Every structure is written in C-alpha cells, then in structure tokens.
Structure 1
Amino acid sequence: MTLRSSEELRRIAREIGCGVVAATTAAGSGHPGGSLSIKEVLSVLLFRIMRHDPDNPTWPGRDRLVLSKGHAAPALYVALALAGYVKREELYGLRRLGGRLQGHPDHDPGIAIEASTGALGNGFAMAAGMALAAKMDGSRYRVFALLGDGELQEGIVWEAAMFAAHHRLDNLMAVVDRNGLQLDGAVEGILSVEPLAEKWRAFGWLVEEADGNDVESVSDAIEELLPRPGRPKVLIAHTEKGASSSVMRWNPEYHGKVLRREQCEEYLRENGCEGWRCG
C-alpha cells in the first residue's frame, strides 16, 4: 500500500466510523462500540504500516492482520472495503445469511480475512502460530494481532504470550484496544488486567503505549517497536469505546447494540459521512 499522510489516515478513520454505523444500523445488530474504538488503529495498520496488495490478496509475502477481538468485524470489513478488498455496497449485507461478511470474521484469504475469530484469545494464539510459521519458512512477513482489553482476561492469551516470547517471535505485534469497557461494564470492575504494561514486559514482550484514537501517536509507537529485534512486541492503545459518537462514547450498552435509524442519520451528519446511508 502507498504510504498515506496523517491527514489521509484521519480521513480514512472517519470513513471507517461512518461505515461501521451505517452497516450495523442496516443489519439491525452488531458491535459498533468496540468497532469505533479501533478505527484509527486499522487506518494506520492497513494504510501505512502493513505490506499487502488488494490486487493479489494471497501474495505469500503479505503481512497478516488477525482481528482477535472478532466482534469488531464491522470496522475490519469497512477498512478492507476502503482498501479495495470488498465492494462498499457489500457492507450493507453485514450479518446476512449466506453473505461473506458475518458477525465475526470467517476465514477468507481472498478478502484478507486471515482467520476465523470471535472465541476470545484464539485469534491471538493463531497469530502467534502464523509468526512461528514465517520464521520456520524463512519468510519476511509480519503478523499483527488486534485484541480487546477484556479479551486479556482469557488464559489462552497469556499461554500464547509465553509461546511467542519463548520462540522470540519478533515478527509478531499485538495491539491491545485498551478502551476500558467490555460487555458487562468496566474491565477493571469485572476482572482487572492491570498493571498491564508490566504484565507484558514480565512475559518477555517489548511494550509501547499510545493514544489509540490519534493516528500519529499510533503510527509513531508502532514504528518505534517494529525495528527492535529479538522479542515480540505489543502496543497498548488507549482508546474510547464508541469514539466519535456522542451517544455511544463510554457507554457499554453499545458493546452489542446498534443505533436506531434516526441516531444513525444524526451520526452521519455530525461526522460528514457523505455517500453513506442507514440501510
């Protein structure tokens, strides 16, 4: 992909938000809150950092992106549409029977969906396996895994973290969407994951933190981590769940609830979402 300017990345992130709200409202179901929190991260990864080719989606040398927090699939689908893997009109078929864009990602290399995810923690473990496979094959591709902070309550995450450190998988980067909320409320009130940075360091990972809703902060942190050899890397991205929506921001109710049509239309107006519709 062509290296995009920060202004372009902000525009792409805004478009991802527009598509998330439009597609989930059209579907009448989905997970918009945690999809909106990762729109800047996806913008940076797919449009600045990762090596991939929409015209050759199964290119063996491509970087892999695994959405371990699979419920945020709407954001991934919109980002892939903006990158040229999926037709924009197909987004309005989100979660429809027989469609490709299901409620959680369904493995489809032809549209850059590298793994079926949704059972929390499993995607991260698969990403670690992909990174080890690259090492064994002598391949230069990198693997990026996007996790939720509530997902870190799963034991498989820490098993995979130990595995990656043991095998010195410096071609693996995890990005934690640290928005502080999960389905039932605040992460820290349900099962604390702190001290988070220290935990990852104790497991042998290189750690950086960033404002996850600022494309420059995310990009700078990733570019700081990527060249450092010998250990897997993690970016803790501090984000707002429901970012860019006055209705959904910091509201755990919208983990798995979508906006009503009139709320969707208001969001599209407020965010300058030209060409998008609510169904």
Structure 2
Amino acid sequence: MTPENLSELANKIRRRDLQAVFEAGAGHIGGEMSVTDLLTALYFKIMQVEPQNPSAPLRDRLVLSKGHTALALYVVLAEKGFIPTEEISTFLQHNSRLNGHPNRMKVPGVETNTGPLGHGLPVGVGMAKAAQLNGESWRTFVITGDGEMQEGSNWEAIMAAAQFKLDNLTLIIDHNRLQQGARLAETNNLAPLAPKLEAFGWAVQEIDGHDMDQICTALSAESITHGKPKCIVAHTNKGHGISFMSDNVAWHHKVPNEEQYKQAMAELEGAMA
C-alpha cells in the first residue's frame, strides 16, 4: 500500500473507533487517535502476519503496551481480517471478547495481555530474545505511551535489550506529550527521550508519527542498525484529526456527546475529501 492508501485507511479506522466509543459510552479516544497511524502502517505495510493463522511460528509480533487503546487495535485487526468487522459493535458489551484492554486468550492477533503500564516492553524483550536464540528472523514491535516510559520496568528492559544486542526489536514511543489527567511536562518529564535511549545503547530515530512516509521508512527492515535495538520516538497528537480533542488532556477517556460526535465524524470525513 502507498502512504496515501495507508493514510486513507487510518482515517477510516479513526472513524470506526470514534463510532464505537460513542456507542459504547466509554473508551480512550485521545490515545487511540494518536496511535492509529502507527498501527495501520505496522499491519498493512510492515509486519508479516497471517490473519487466518494468527499463531504462525514465524510471524512478526506486536505488543501494544499502552493497552488502554485496545479499541484502535481491535479495529485494525478487524480490517486486517483477524476478527469480523461487525464484531467491533460489541466493544465493552456484556460477554464481548473486546474488552477495554486486549486479551490474548480471547482475541486472535493479540500477542500478550496489556493494561498495567510498563509490562509490554519487558515481554517484548523476551520475545525478541527467543527469536535470537532460535536463529529466527521475525521481528518484535512494542508500542508504549510517553507517560508509560516513567515506569522503571521499561528502563530495565531497555538495558537488557542493549546488552543482548536485540536488533530484531523495535520500540515505538507514542510521544503525544499527554497522559491521564496531565501533561508529561507536569508530572515526570522524560523529554527529550531520544538522547536517553541513545545513552543506553539504542539506535534512535525521531519522526512525525502522523506522516506515513516517515513511519514506513523508520519501521522498515532496511533501517535496522546491526547489533542495536531500535527506538522510534513518534511525535503525535492526542485526539489527532479532531479539532477539539487534539492536544487536549481532557480527552484521555472522555466520551463525546451527540453534537461532538457529529462534529468529530464530519471533520474526519472532511480530512480525506
């Protein structure tokens, strides 16, 4: 798919995500809007996965460590063919397998349960190490939030990945500058992130996390540095694509009312007109 095709698909995924949040009356729409371009590029351009065989041994793995944005992942998995597209309408309903955080025992394509922040990268390091030990070429990708990088477990994993020279591991930090209830700068400001990862022995690249050309180039196998794990600091906007949500801390898990929903949907539809 071309970058233009991927952007169109990401916009479609945002619209379906917005509809599902509105209908369910719950969700984490701000972070879902910021991570959608990254997920779209991974599943429709970069990763080698088989929707009809989600446990294929040589598949690439994605760990969505910021598990509260599970709905964005569900919509992407549905578009890719892992689950029926109509199942998105069951999000958060009684007995639905589409919970507020992803569950690998219930949803095909989910690699590990996430939600408690700081767990996904350590798991990803273990996955990448397993591939290295077995001499296999599949890749592991982990997406974290920037607020999540305040968790000490991430930095232990960062040290381990550098020590093991896991160049089959890519960490993507969704750097939208906001976390639940506050700005990153107001809590425990880790920015700038890139020099910190570099100091731990990682190859680091900073990109516009909404520019498909930059995303695909940074994620490509050709961008790997031999012997070094890679970190992509993706500069994004929480609530991206929706004027009143963009860069607004209130929309971490706020739900739009009917008027806001109609405005947001109109803005997303107009973006690709």
Distance 2:107 2:187 in 1: 38
Cα contact 1:31–1:255 (8 A) shared by 2: yes
Distance 2:46 2:113 in 1: 23
Structure 1, unaligned runs of 5 or more = 274-279
User: 2:146 maps to which residue?
Assistant: 149
Flag as ranges the 4+ runs of structure 1 deviating above 6 A.
none
Query: Where does 1:164-203 land on structure 2 (aligned, <5 Å)?
Result: 164-203=161-200
Distance 2:196 2:126 in 1: 21
Distance 1:219 1:33 in 2: 23
Distance 1:146 1:102 in 2: 19
User: 1:276 maps to which residue?
Assistant: none
Aligned length: 270
User: 1:236 maps to which residue?
Assistant: 233
User: 2:28 maps to which residue?
Assistant: 31
Distance 2:169 2:221 in 1: 14
Question: Which of 69, 77, 81 does residue 72 from structure 1 map onto?
Answer: 69
- Percent identity of paired positions between Structure 1 and Structure 2: 41
1:49: Cα distance to partner?
0.7
Distance 1:261 1:86 in 2: 28
Q: What CA RMSD, in Å, does the superposition of the two structures yield over aligned residues?
A: 1.5
User: 1:264 maps to which residue?
Assistant: 261
Query: Where does 1:117-128 land on structure 2 (aligned, <5 Å)?
Result: 117-128=114-125
Could you list the per-position Cα deviations for residues 111-154 of structure 1 after superposition, in whole angstroms to 9, with x for gaps in the alignment?
20000001101011111111111112222110000000000000
Distance 1:95 1:221 in 2: 34
User: 2:210 maps to which residue?
Assistant: 213
TM-score by length of 2: 0.95
Cα contact 1:225–1:233 (8 A) shared by 2: no
User: 1:48 maps to which residue?
Assistant: 45
Cα contact 2:172–2:232 (8 A) shared by 1: yes
Could you list the per-position Cα deviations for residues 143-202 of structure 1 after superposition, in whole angstroms to 9, with x for gaps in the alignment?
000000000000001011111111111110000000000012110111110231110011
Flag the 1:195–1:271 CA change in 2: closer, same or farther, 3 A.
closer
Letter in 1 for 2:247: W
Flag the 1:103–1:110 CA change in 2: closer, same or farther, 3 A.
closer
Question: Which of 98, 101, 104 does residue 104 from structure 1 map onto?
Answer: 101
TM-score by length of 1: 0.93
Could you list the per-position Cα deviations for residues 200-246 of structure 1 after superposition, in whole angstroms to 9, with x for gaps in the alignment?
01111100010001111111222376432101100000001000111
